[in-house]
Amino acid sequence: MHQSSTERIVAALERWIATAPPGARLPSSRALAAAHGAGPVTVQRAMHALTERGLIESRPGVGTFVRRSAAPAPADYSWQTGALGPAQPGDPVLPHTQRAVAPGTIELHSGYPAPELLPAALVRAAAGRAARSRSALTRAPAAGLPELQDWFAAELGTDPASGATHAAREALIVPGSQAALSSVFRSLVGRGGALVIESPSYWGALLAAQQVGVRLVPLPVGAAGPDPAELDRALRESGARAFYAQPTFANPIGGQWGPERGRAVLDVLRTHGAFLIEDDWARDFGIAPPAPPLARADAEGRIVYIRSLTKSLSPAIRVGAVIARGPARERILAALLAETMYVSPLLQATALDVVTSAGWRTHLRSLPEKLRERRDALLDALASHAPSALPVAVPQGGLNIWLRLPDGAEAAAVVRDCEARGLALAAGEAWFPAEPPGPHLRLNFAGPEPERFADAAGILGAVLAAG
């Protein structure tokens, strides 16, 4: 077959490139022209063809080189399949609440408050001071900075009946409550042990429990919390000695237990010699006033209390505390140490500076109204534009609205279709420890751009109507 001079030069150079190391310099155009008895235009065409195929790259004024990443072989990690073995069955579905979305998307999927709901000026000033202090160059004790431990213990408050308080040493500083959940589940329940958990419950708690190898025992809850008789049955049947719950502004429903319910739950736990793991993640995000933490009046060491400042201060300052007493405290501290060693003193000092400043209380006082406005705006928009999606409750606090979709709707498909139209939502499956009893969505009313809530509800309404 007749080969043009360009093709001849290309074929020759391809053979040369195949054996040359990546980055090798090609002969000059003049040398190539001379070697192949060709004109400069022919050589130029050959070089162009090789560049198009990604085999060479020219650096103007320097020369032409074999491409370093020329035709990379597809990665082959197949050996890992054998080494890793089968995937664990029953892994929770990740809700992708942290997923990145296309620019311009309305973001109701994430679990964080928008920057305008954070004490930004206080955090910036405190972080600057911490950076100039000794905290920038030292480590912290495993249990945390004593002053911050003291603050968390004092924040839990005084038992009005006995006047008892929690000691500073009982508060263990953690790098966000997600880390606390893993350590607490590991310490109190352990691999193969049973844990009663609300259904629905925070997806990160499900994930942490599953990673520890805990056997989850789902307990259905509504806005007012669990039925104590059902809790009694779940503990009896499973032999569980711990119950993970969010009595105040639960993620995702946003309700809170009344004092009666709290007492009844504790009575049941006492009968079974079981712990309550009280995750108080949204204490700073009350729209209605939050009930006192149950742990405040716990004289028996029955309640392991988890409190986070991540969302209240800034997602960049991941600091929280686990408050526990007795041997449980020692076990949890050991588990924390094994997982995280200690929490950055820079973050602890920043958090302490903010929460002990005068501006912190002023900031907290301003939040309920801002949250109420956003919650109501989103509820109104949904009622007008997506009336078939029903809020399970009007959230009394927290950051989210938990929506029940009409029977037959598929939450994951609704999320996919909404995202294609510019609205990011979280599908409800991930909040259920077992099969979801129906299709749900979680919407964050505290995220960015509340002025787009009507557009968001319009998209959801259109997707539901089409589906």
Ligand X SMILES: Cc1ncc(COP(=O)(O)O)c(C=O)c1O
Residues that bind ligand X (CB under 6 A): 111, 176-178, 202, 204, 246, 251, 279, 281, 308, 310, 318, 320
Under DSSP, is residue 400 helix (H, G, I), strand (E, B) or coil?
Answer: strand
- Minimum CB distance to ligand X, residue 282 (Å): 7
To ligand X, the closest distance from the beta carbon of 313 in angstroms equals: 10
Name the strand (E) or helix (H) holding 196: strand 194-199
Tell me how far, at minimum, the Cβ of 216 lies from ligand X, in Å. 15
Alpha-carbon gap, residue 195 to 197, rounded angstroms:
6
State the minimum distance, in angstroms, from the CB of residue 179 to ligand X: 7
From CA 117, how far away is CA 126, in angstroms rounded? 17
Q: Which is nearer to ligand X, 177 or 187 (CB)?
A: 177
Q: Provide, rounded to whole angstroms, the least separation between the CB of residue 437 and ligand X.
A: 20
With tokens 């924390």, the residue in question is 336
| 111 vs 447, beta carbon nearer ligand X | 111
CB of 408 to ligand X, least distance (A): 29
CB of 168 to ligand X, least distance (A): 20
Give the residue closest to ligand X by C-beta.
176
CA distance 198 to 183: 19
The CB-of-180 to ligand X minimum distance in angstroms stands at 8
Query: Of 307 and 363, which CB lies nearer to ligand X in the complex structure?
Result: 307
C-alpha 427/C-alpha 328 separation (Å) is 35
Q: Which is nearer to ligand X, 17 or 180 (CB)?
A: 180
CA distances from 55 to 27, 76, 392 (A): 15, 22, 59
Question: Which CB atom, from 50 or from 148, has the smaller least distance to ligand X?
Answer: 148
Cα distances from 172 to residues 149, 162, 304, in angstroms, run 7, 24, 11
Nearest approach, Cβ of residue 61 and ligand X (Å): 52
- Determine the Cα angle at 429 with ends 427 and 433, to 5°: 150
Other Cβ atoms closer than 10 A to 223: 17
Taken in order 172, 178, 182, 185, is the CA torsion positive or negative? positive
Nearer to ligand X (CB atom), residue 308 or residue 344: 308
Would you list the DSSP string of 126-172?
HHHHHHHSGGGG----TT--HHHHHHHHHHH---TTT-----GGGEE
The residue among 293 and 461 lying less far from ligand X, judged by its C-beta, is 293
Output 13 or 317, the one with its CB closest to ligand X: 317
Using a CB cutoff of 8 Å and minimum separation of 24, what contacts does 378-383 make?
378/108, 378/443, 378/445, 378/450, 378/453, 378/456, 378/457, 381/453, 381/454, 381/456, 381/457, 381/458, 382/443, 382/457, 382/460
Closer residue to ligand X in complex, CB, 202/243 = 202
